Amino acid sequence: MAFTPQFLDEIRARVALSDVIGRRVRLIRKGREHSALCPFHNEKTPSFTVSDEKGFFHCFGCGAHGDVIGFVMRDEGLSFPEAVERLAGEAGLEVPKEAPEDRARAEAQLTLYGVLEQAAAYFESELRADSGAAARAYLNGRGLKAETIKTFRLGFAPDSRTALKAALKSEQITESLLVTAGMLIEPEGGGTTYDRFRHRVIFPIQDRRGRVIAFGGRALGDAPAKYLNSPDTPVFHKGSVLYGMHLARGAARKSGRIVAVEGYMDVIALHQGGLTETVAPLGTALTELQMEEMWRLVDEPILCFDGDPAGQKAAARAAERALPRLKSGKSLRFATLPAGEDPDSMMAEGGKSALEDVLTGASPLSENIWILAGGGGELTTPEARAALNRRLNGYLEQIPDGDLKFYIRRHYKTRLYEPFSKIGSGRKPHRETRRRARDDEKILPQQGLGGRAEGNSAHRERAILQTILKFPELLHEFHEEIGRLPLLAAPYRTFRDALLAADVDGSAPDKSKINHILTQAGLEKLLDALVGGDAAYLNWAAKADATSLDDARIQLRHALDLHHRLIDMEKFRREAEEALADDMSEENLRRLAESMRAVDEAPGTEVQLPGYRDNPEPRRE
């Protein structure tokens, strides 16, 4: 069975090589690549390298090499068609059924590349001819150098309905093939075909391999459309191609950055100014397939659209389209240009440094969604905060990656409570003198999760549960986060699960309902230990005489964030230990030392909160 190059490229674009190989061997991230023990020969030291950016694997030990299709063939003993069919199913693609017309279509595509290449050469020659004077004047007026014009193969389409048709027909190219290639327009009601591009500066559109697949044209005079693109053809699909990608790929791999701008001239001007890792969609909003194309090169492409309302609208639309495709490690960043500016004008006025300043300050996707949901407005009332929280949840529900969604939601909740921490109960924080953190404030010491670490962390877990018991409204408000909270003390995990069972009917449970469910679960002794007369409190907001829900909310937010942060740090330490065990390098040794120091020196945050020193010392259990 024969498969078209486009179909095979689509499989490679949709199925990450590291995902496929990672199911077979344990991959270790090293910069922008992965390493592993080779699955094809016995070895003790990793010599097997996987590169998603380059799209291939290579073993320096046995010489095995190939792409994702080649790996599946070698690993599972499949034929080429069988491997393609297997991966197509994983990518959600329907395998085309081979028929005589399929073979003819594949051959026609090869012919189309030749036709489009000849069209590009014709437009280039017309730019150099006398008839191209106006086009040359336009390009020179935009500050383009001769070398840049040559690099991007810019051209000119004469003001004629038959110039291109006549030139290519003399090369024995049929009108039918020119229509299929998108170069001629065939009237719907019949009649003589005519050139699509007339009296325009021509921008050849090339695929990632540098082959001409379509054209864009900028009108030099009055025209219904200032910019005109080729229609979709067997070799060109507008929503999956980025202008300039064939030139940006190498630069993006070296810099670890790729920048998406709005138009052809933005790409060309930035490239000429030294920002060669620049691409652009083709006159439409950035599509999901174009994002995937950039994610193959870098983890966080930067979108740098114009500073006008249209540019910001395009950025907002890109953010919304990205949400269903997000996963841990893959996102977008947004560079905000000054109002009225575009990348081309900034490069002309301030040079590369002006653009670099903007790109360096690019904000994460989470910030863009925050603003999109209205987070830039006033949040001084519970109603405003609830409305914003509802809008944010609407966006977050589109993210399929559970871990990523959880951490972004946690970040938003922290920001939602910031205005209330300034209002609170009117009490001013005490100025505290610096002191050494007590052992029980180092929730996760360096010996690891479990053992004594589990006992130490129990103090903060106790404080979290006590606060919830005092203010059941917070259980309802933080339900999802409490459910995902990694509690290391086993009795508290059981207690937490029973609490969550009391909050299932859509409204905040009251204390009597909570007490009833905990008693039915046989947890009355632990309940008494947490809130009975002899209970000790680490968190003052959970004490019996605490009355401010807003203060308790702030305290709980701090406690949850610290708990997560310390556990994350401990996980990072364990990963550093594993990396060092696999590779005794100086880099891995430095990473382990830093992680151990971070865990050991991490202070508690309660000492920064109002009234903390008024509490009795927590009772040792």
Local confidence band at 423 (pLDDT 50, 70, 90 cut-offs): very low
Task: Look at 61-75, 209-223, 582-596, 604-618 and tell me which has the smallest mean pLDDT.
Answer: 604-618
pLDDT digits (tens, 9 = 90+) for 441-481: 333 333 334 333 344 466 778 888 888 888 888 877 777 77
Average pLDDT, the chain: 79
The yes-or-no verdict on residue 621 having pLDDT over 60 is no
CATH 2.40.170.20, domain 245-370, yes or no = no
The yes-or-no verdict on residue 40 having pLDDT over 60 is yes
Q: What is the pLDDT of residue 617?
A: 39
Count of alpha carbons within 13 angstroms of residue 615, beta-carbon side? 21
Residue 429 corresponds to which tokens in the numbers above? 């924080």
CA distance 142 to 380: 49
CA distance 120 to 513: 76
Local confidence band at 619 (pLDDT 50, 70, 90 cut-offs): very low
CATH topology of domain 5-91: DNA Primase; Chain A (3.90.580)
CA distance 540 to 616: 9
Helix axes 524-531, 452-470, angle to 10 degrees: 80
Question: What order of strands is seen across the sheet that includes strand 278-279?
Answer: 278-279, 259-260, 302-303, 333-334, 363-364
Asked whether 274 and 293 are in contact (CB, 8 A), the reply is no
Residue 532 identity: G
Task: Look at 26-40, 81-95, 497-511 and tell me which has the smallest mean pLDDT.
Answer: 497-511
Give the 3-state secondary structure of residue 32: coil
User: To the nearest 10°, the Cα dihedral for 399, 404, 406, 407?
Assistant: -140
Every domain of the chain and the residues it spans: 5-91, 100-236, 245-370, 373-423, 439-614
Average pLDDT on 265-288 reads: 92
CA distance 580 to 584: 5
- DSSP-derived secondary structure for 104-130: HHHHHHHHHHHHHHHHHHHHHHHHHSG
pLDDT digits (tens, 9 = 90+) for 284-293: 789 998 998 8
Give the 3-state secondary structure of residue 88: helix
Local confidence band at 549 (pLDDT 50, 70, 90 cut-offs): confident
CA distance 288 to 295: 10
Asked whether 39 and 75 are in contact (CB, 8 A), the reply is yes
Q: What is the pLDDT of residue 243?
A: 96
Q: How buried is residue 415: exposed, middle or buried, by Cβ count under 10 Å (0-12/13-18/19+)?
A: middle
Closest alpha carbon to 162 in 184, 139, 143, 180: 184
- Domain with residues 100-236, CATH architecture: Alpha-Beta Complex (3.90)
pLDDT digits (tens, 9 = 90+) for 188-198: 877 899 999 99
CA distance 12 to 83: 12
CA distance 447 to 15: 39
Residue 587 identity: E
Average pLDDT on 298-313 reads: 87
Task: Look at 215-229, 239-253, 369-383 and tell me which has the smallest mean pLDDT.
Answer: 369-383
Q: What is the pLDDT of residue 582?
A: 66
Q: What is the pLDDT of residue 455?
A: 42
Asked whether 323 and 400 are in contact (CB, 8 A), the reply is no
What percent of the chain has pLDDT above 90? Answer: 29
Is the whole-model pTM more than 0.85?
no
pLDDT digits (tens, 9 = 90+) for 179-231: 999 999 999 877 899 999 999 999 999 998 889 999 999 999 888 889 999 99
Strand partners, 212: 206
The yes-or-no verdict on residue 340 having pLDDT over 50 is yes
